[in-house]
Homo-oligomer: A and B are copies of this chain.
Amino acid sequence: MATHFEVTERTRLRRRPARGAYDEASVFAILDAGLIAHVGYTEGGAPRVIATAYWREGRTLYWHGAAGSQALRAQAGGIPVCVTVSHLDGLVLGRSGFAHSVLYRSVMAFGNTREVESREEKRSAMDNFLERLYPGRTREIRPVRDAELDMIAVIALPIDEASAKIRGGGVNEKEEDLAAPGWAGIIPVETRLCAVYTDERVAGVAVAASVGAYAEGAALGAVLVRNARLNGA
């Protein structure tokens, strides 16, 4: 099994190639640290981008929604999509407008969608999603019902091509600006968890063990990656 995605015309980073990566480890790390993907497709000849929760199993991405959703009905037919996941890591300020930038990690993944059609496969996919987010959750709640499965559509995207793009590092200033007065620096940004709160209708019940890793102040991305690894992702 190849551990790199093939570099193609549309995934090859032409500018600043050092920021690109095509190995599974880099691509998966960025995908697994995210919860919301932006799925681009063409509908009625026009581009459309939906934000949706997603998860990954091997080289396949999944998302789901209401069976009647216009977006999912379009995708169920099997269409080319581009899925982009991005994480903002910081703001960069230099001593010229040009040296201002942002720190980020992102992945673009291309492929053709397919609908997950059988109830068995849908049930398995949705259980995997729950377990991937909250290890053990499926054993804490009742099984999903057939009627519930029938109300949703699950879309799978076998990834044909993918690339990661990472802007890390510090401030990149031109030599001539280094002697200029003024300040330059970085403002790191993190997406963190707040204190879990219990729904008022379950007062008196201990917080579920499956959310144990979602500790107040923890970085969301780190928790998601940890839980993905627990599920063998």
Find the B residue at minimum CB distance from A180: B142
B191 in contact with A189 (CB, 8 Å): yes
Partner of A142, one of B41, B53, B95: B95
**A162 nearest CB across to chain B (Å):** 13
B189 in contact with A220 (CB, 8 Å): yes
The answer, yes or no, to whether A171 is at the interface (CB within 8 Å) is: yes
Most B-side CB within 10 Å, residue of A69, A142, A197: A142
**Given A42-B47, A46-B82, A191-B190, A183 contacting B208 (CB threshold 8 A):** yes
Cα separation A205 to B184 with both chains bound (whole Å): 9
A47 in contact with B50 (CB, 8 Å): no
B177 in contact with A142 (CB, 8 Å): yes
A199 in contact with B186 (CB, 8 Å): yes
Main secondary structure on A side of the interface with B: mixed
Q: Enumerate chain B residues within 8 angstroms of A119, measured Cβ to Cβ.
A: none
The answer, yes or no, to whether A59 is at the interface (CB within 8 Å) is: no
A97 in contact with B49 (CB, 8 Å): no
The answer, yes or no, to whether A25 is at the interface (CB within 8 Å) is: no
Cα separation A171 to B191 with both chains bound (whole Å): 22
The answer, yes or no, to whether A60 is at the interface (CB within 8 Å) is: no
Cα separation A35 to B102 with both chains bound (whole Å): 9
- Top 10 A-B pairs ranked by shortest CB distance? A38-B38, A40-B40, A40-B49, A51-B86, A188-B194, A49-B84, A183-B208, A40-B47, A184-B199, A185-B198
A-B contact pairs, 30 of them (CB 8 A): A10-B44, A15-B66, A35-B88, A36-B102, A38-B51, A40-B47, A41-B47, A42-B42, A48-B82, A48-B108, A49-B49, A49-B108, A50-B108, A51-B84, A51-B86, A97-B144, A142-B180, A170-B199, A171-B201, A178-B201, A182-B205, A182-B208, A184-B199, A184-B202, A185-B196, A185-B199, A187-B196, A188-B195, A189-B194, A190-B192
